[in-house]
Structure 1
Amino acid sequence: MANEHFPEIRGGGSLILAWQIRNKRVLVVGGGEVAAGRILNVLNADAKVTVVSPREGLNPEVAYRVRHGQVDYVDRKFEPSDLDNVDMVLTAVDDPEASTQIWKLCKERKIAANIADVPSECDFYFGSVHRDGPLQIMVSTNGKGPRLANIIRRFVAESLPKNAGEAIMKIGKLRQMLRKIAPDPEEGPRRMSWMVKVSDTYSLEDLCQMEEEDMSALLRFYTSGKVPRLACIKAMRGEFEGFDGSFGFCVGWG
């Protein structure tokens, strides 16, 4: 057909996902510096972590997490039975042959695995991540340049508004409150459309200033589909008894 314009396929990338591993069982083989970074990543995602490594191989950070019960710990080298009832495997040991053997066992059992420093033996990669509360931004070089990923991540982080994470927390709270007043599944498209309007109307600074009382007042306008300026919402505190949002007495609607 004439005038067809579709995105060009550019192979060689990874599918970037936010993998929810809360309460999933993650096995970390190794206890050195690389293992410490992997352990922190999965603990931040609320996984249940087991570390397998001889005690003499633990670096101070991993030893700290073992000592404080933040991870389960097995004081020995890896054994195949360690893969029983595991959802994910991360290896970080200075033994390429042993690492490859673990990789092969994971493939037999269909367990997602990451073998440190061996991109060809990884189902997924760890990128360089910026974290600000609920905000997470990952930069990946698909295993080709981890150091450059870190440099690019810092550049991106420095360009972000300082209050981005707090603003996201507020918008998340508003969404929760909206679901309570409009819980029906068929309301989904309407909820989404209204939340888009809210996000487009308010700046990050506006969202950070919002208190729960302001959110409750704003939700009165959901039925009408309107989004008033934050200054109007704050000015009308205490004036919403019996108000259903059906008329626009405040200028500057979104």
Structure 2
Amino acid sequence: MEENQLFPVFFKLHRLHVLVVGGGNVGMEKVNAMLQNCPEATITVVSLSFLPELEGLAKSYANVTLIHKAFSCGDLLGKDLVIAATNNRELNQCVWEKAKGSKVLINVADTPELCDFYLGSVVQKGNLKIAISTNGKSPTVAKRLKQVLQEALPDSLDDVLQKLHIIRDKLKGDFAAKVKKLNNITDVLVNPDTKEL
């Protein structure tokens, strides 16, 4: 039976430069998703046309650049990640080939076999962020799980994280002792019968 062998990572987008090829609905969706997760993300969008909503978004973020032109290999220079988000399969294939040749990680929207990474559904409660992947099988299921988790997880989790961060910084002892103490403290999160905090 096939299993999800993806290795989850969280990119620090404020340190990377992302190229999005395509200024339509899919390009807008990808740019918006990145900015929701990291408003400081540096994003360049290359396209022959742009949705007015994307143009408005770019005006609101100085770190989003729209370039009105056809994609070319030179657009990959200095980029860390690429998202091909056009409705033209041949163009997406071309972007994929150029990205692979330039050793740049790429996501081709709605084409799992041409993706080095996926953009998962994300649940966020302050500093807590959970990414959901269905290994490209069903983005709809991922969106539904996002809704369930968003409602199920209390907003107060961020307060818990902040307090645990303070406690961790004040703990004495070696790494193993600190881990043991933090495990005891956080046991209450998974075992409601735990009395010790």
1:14 alignment counterpart: 6
Structure scoring higher RCO (CA < 8 A, sep ≥ 6) equals 2
Aligned residues: percent identity? Answer: 28
Contact 2:185 2:196 in 1 (8 A): no
Task: After TM superposition, give the deviation of residue 137 of structure 1 in Å.
Answer: 1.7
Deviations 1:68-126 (A, max 9, x none): 22412212221110001111001111111011011011111111100111111101111
| Structure 2 CA distance for aligned equivalents of residues 170 and 110 of structure 1 | 41
SS at match of 1:22: helix
| Structure 1 CA distance for aligned equivalents of residues 66 and 87 of structure 2 | 19
Structure 2: gaps of 5 or more residues: none
Contact 2:79 2:104 in 1 (8 A): yes
Task: After TM superposition, give the deviation of residue 57 of structure 1 in Å.
Answer: 2.2
2:72 alignment counterpart: 79
2:156 alignment counterpart: 163
| Structure 2 CA distance for aligned equivalents of residues 13 and 116 of structure 1 | 19
- Paired AA for residue 35 in structure 1: G
Structure 1: gaps of 5 or more residues: 1-8, 204-251
Please tell me whether residue 140 in structure 1 is matched to residue 140 in structure 2: no
| Aligned residue-pair number | 190
* TM-score (normalised: structure 2): 0.83
* TM-score (normalised: structure 1): 0.66
2:101 alignment counterpart: 108
Output aligned runs, 1:177-196, within 5 Å: 177-178=169-170, 187-196=174-183
Task: After TM superposition, give the deviation of residue 33 of structure 1 in Å.
Answer: 2.4
Deviations 1:32-76 (A, max 9, x none): 22222222333323432111123x42241x212211224122122
Choose the corresponding residue for 2:121, options 107, 120, 128: 128
Contact 1:31 1:52 in 2 (8 A): yes
2:41 alignment counterpart: 47
| Structure 2 CA distance for aligned equivalents of residues 94 and 144 of structure 1 | 20
Please tell me whether residue 151 in structure 1 is matched to residue 138 in structure 2: no
Task: After TM superposition, give the deviation of residue 155 of structure 1 in Å.
Answer: 1.7
- Deviating above 6 A after TM superposition, structure 1's stretches of 4 or more consecutive aligned residues are none
| Structure 2 CA distance for aligned equivalents of residues 135 and 253 of structure 1 | 23
Task: After TM superposition, give the deviation of residue 140 of structure 1 in Å.
Answer: 1.5
Task: After TM superposition, give the deviation of residue 22 of structure 1 in Å.
Answer: 3.1
| Structure 2 CA distance for aligned equivalents of residues 166 and 12 of structure 1 | 32
| Structure 2 CA distance for aligned equivalents of residues 96 and 17 of structure 1 | 27
Task: After TM superposition, give the deviation of residue 128 of structure 1 in Å.
Answer: 1.4
Choose the corresponding residue for 1:66, options 58, 64, 87: 58
Task: After TM superposition, give the deviation of residue 166 of structure 1 in Å.
Answer: 2.9
Task: After TM superposition, give the deviation of residue 253 of structure 1 in Å.
Answer: 6.0
Highest Rg: 1 or 2?
1
Contact 1:28 1:89 in 2 (8 A): yes
